[in-house]
Amino acid sequence: MTVERALRGAPPHRLLDSLRVDLARRFAVLSADLLLLDYGLTSLRPVEPVQAPDGMRHVAVGSGPAGRALSTQQPYLFGGDGPTATAYLPVTVRGERYGVLVVVLPSDLATPAATEELADIAETLGHALRVADRHTDLYRRTRRANALSVPAEMQWGVLPGQACTGPEFDLHAYWEPSYTSGGHLLDWCATEDGLTLVVANGTGPDAPSALVSSLALNAIRNARRAGLDLVGQATLTDQALYGQHRGERSLSALLLSFAGATGEVLVVDAGSPTVWRGRGAAVERIDLERQLPLGMFEDTVYVTQRLHVLPGDRLVFVACDRGEAPPDGGDTDLDRSVRRAIEGARRTDCADAPRAVVRALREEAPGGLPDDVLVLCLDWHGREPAGPRADADGDRGGLSGPSAV
């Protein structure tokens, strides 16, 4: 494909220039500009230099045709009554929304077939941006509506992103404040067998907290890539943190492994963030047997628990200092606020749900939320079964208790 070859051969900071040349040749495009989603998911910001004659400006998310294309994830053709039409094309890679490509072309060439082809080109651009982002600061600089703190820079540098989708699931995350946070940990790995997911509470917005999270994240990845199971990943990370900080710094984390074929989930709860499940109209907190946080003591022994998710289930993870379960397992005021926030976002698309939950919690949580909060939403679709499958434990939604793997 011509576009793919052109983008592969372009310098990382000249992707848009290369694309403009190709689009002008193939579609007589008059201008092409790229709006990137900022770190806080509040605005779409133009990559300079802007080609549009009216001087493309940043726009608020959810407003105008660019916001419509981003929120619906569908190409949007605007105008066409005059000599030109403008196509707004979502730039998304494996569920992660990068922004919108804005293309102005002659009206007589703005056909449905051309719009569909331009949408494919926008997706190709997204993949090229993901690679180029490792070799230039241009796109990360564009995404900043404000300056990042050093801990936030560290966090954005090590986390895998804010979204990932696959046949069995949609996963989207949002943390606030996006520009000064630094302690939250989030990671995932999708394989043929399913999904491995890690969520951890931040220990504060300072650089030491970001260093703790960075050490923990790399230890988890090292163990996972070495083929260790969840217990092995928790154990190696626990040892790495304790070896460095001798118990003075620990991390409350939740490690999960989802089987794509069955929906069975293995869980290691190391003093974890809270997890809630939406099933149908019901929203309930999943009570796990909490074990010691990672790095608190030497040679901690971790065990797994089991639960199941069903197609249509939504899991919402809330990581913040005040998100811990009360000692007696009762329902705190914050728990009620979290439940109401999740219920209010139940019909919201997975991509928009985490921010909607955070916004609702900011408005109504008793005493307010801590400065740092991470909300992750996982919509489970499951996998089409090859044939009839018996329910082995008779309770597809409940815990089957802790057990060593």
SS (H, E, C) 23-38: HHHHHCCCEEEEEEEC
The C-alpha atoms of residue 315 and residue 277 are separated, in whole angstroms, by 5
Residue 384 has pLDDT above 80, yes or no: no
Do 108 and 241 share a domain, yes or no? no
Work out the end-to-end distance of the chain between its first and last CA atoms, rounded to an integer number of angstroms: 47
Nearby residues of 228 by Cβ (< 8 Å), 6 or more positions away: 236
Helix (H, G, I), strand (E, B) or coil at 367: coil
- Give exposure, 233-267, as e/b (b: 16+ Cβ within 10 Å): bbbbbbbbbbeebeeebbbbbbbbbbbbebbbbbb
pLDDT at 361: 86
Q: What is the largest CA-CA distance in the chain?
A: 72
Do 195 and 311 share a domain, yes or no? yes
Nearest C-alpha neighbor of 120 from the set 94, 143, 90:
90
Domain that includes residue 118, residue range: 2-141
**For residues 36-58, average pLDDT:** 84
Do 242 and 116 share a domain, yes or no? no
Do 173 and 97 share a domain, yes or no? no
Do 249 and 395 share a domain, yes or no? yes
Nearest C-alpha neighbor of 89 from the set 118, 60, 57:
118
pLDDT at 119: 97
pLDDT at 58: 85
**For residues 41-47, average pLDDT:** 95
Nearest C-alpha neighbor of 32 from the set 50, 58, 9:
50
The C-alpha atoms of residue 90 and residue 351 are separated, in whole angstroms, by 14
pLDDT at 181: 80
Do 202 and 319 share a domain, yes or no? yes
| Amino acid at residue number 296 | M
Do 296 and 364 share a domain, yes or no? yes
Do 209 and 262 share a domain, yes or no? yes
Q: Do residues 285 and 274 touch, judged by C-beta distance below 8 A?
A: yes
Q: What is the CATH number of the domain that holds 43?
A: 3.30.450.40
Do 164 and 307 share a domain, yes or no? yes
Q: Which of 92-106, 198-212, 366-380 has the lowest mean pLDDT?
A: 366-380
Do 68 and 104 share a domain, yes or no? yes
Q: What is the CATH number of the domain that holds 355?
A: 3.60.40.10
CB atoms inside a 10 Å sphere around CB 363: 10
The C-alpha atoms of residue 380 and residue 199 are separated, in whole angstroms, by 17
Residue 201 has pLDDT above 90, yes or no: no
36: tokens are: 């990137």
* Residue at a domain's end among 123, 141, 159: 141
pLDDT digits (tens, 9 = 90+) for 307-345: 999 999 999 999 875 444 444 444 467 788 889 999 999
Q: In what order do the strands lie in the sheet with 274-279?
A: 163-166, 169-176, 373-380, 314-319, 274-279, 282-285
pLDDT digits (tens, 9 = 90+) for 214-264: 999 999 999 999 999 999 999 999 999 999 999 999 999 999 999 999 999
Do 137 and 264 share a domain, yes or no? no
* Alpha-carbon Rg for the chain in angstroms: 23
What is the DSSP pairing of strand 31-37 with strand 274-279? unpaired
DSSP 250-312: -B-EEEEEEETTT-EEEEEEESPPEEEEEETTEEEE------PPBTSSTT----EEEEE--TT
Nearest C-alpha neighbor of 403 from the set 307, 304, 308:
304
* Residue at a domain's end among 83, 110, 141: 141
Burial class of residue 32 in the structure, from the number of CB atoms within 10 Å of its CB (0-12 exposed, 13-18 middle, 19+ buried): buried
pLDDT digits (tens, 9 = 90+) for 104-138: 999 999 999 999 999 999 999 999 999 999 999 99
Do 159 and 120 share a domain, yes or no? no
pLDDT digits (tens, 9 = 90+) for 137-186: 999 999 999 999 999 999 899 999 999 999 999 999 999 888 988 778 89
Nearby residues of 150 by Cβ (< 8 Å), 6 or more positions away: 182, 207, 210
pLDDT digits (tens, 9 = 90+) for 358-377: 999 888 765 666 667 899 99
| Count of domains for the chain | 2
The C-alpha atoms of residue 306 and residue 372 are separated, in whole angstroms, by 29
* Residue at a domain's end among 141, 168, 192: 141
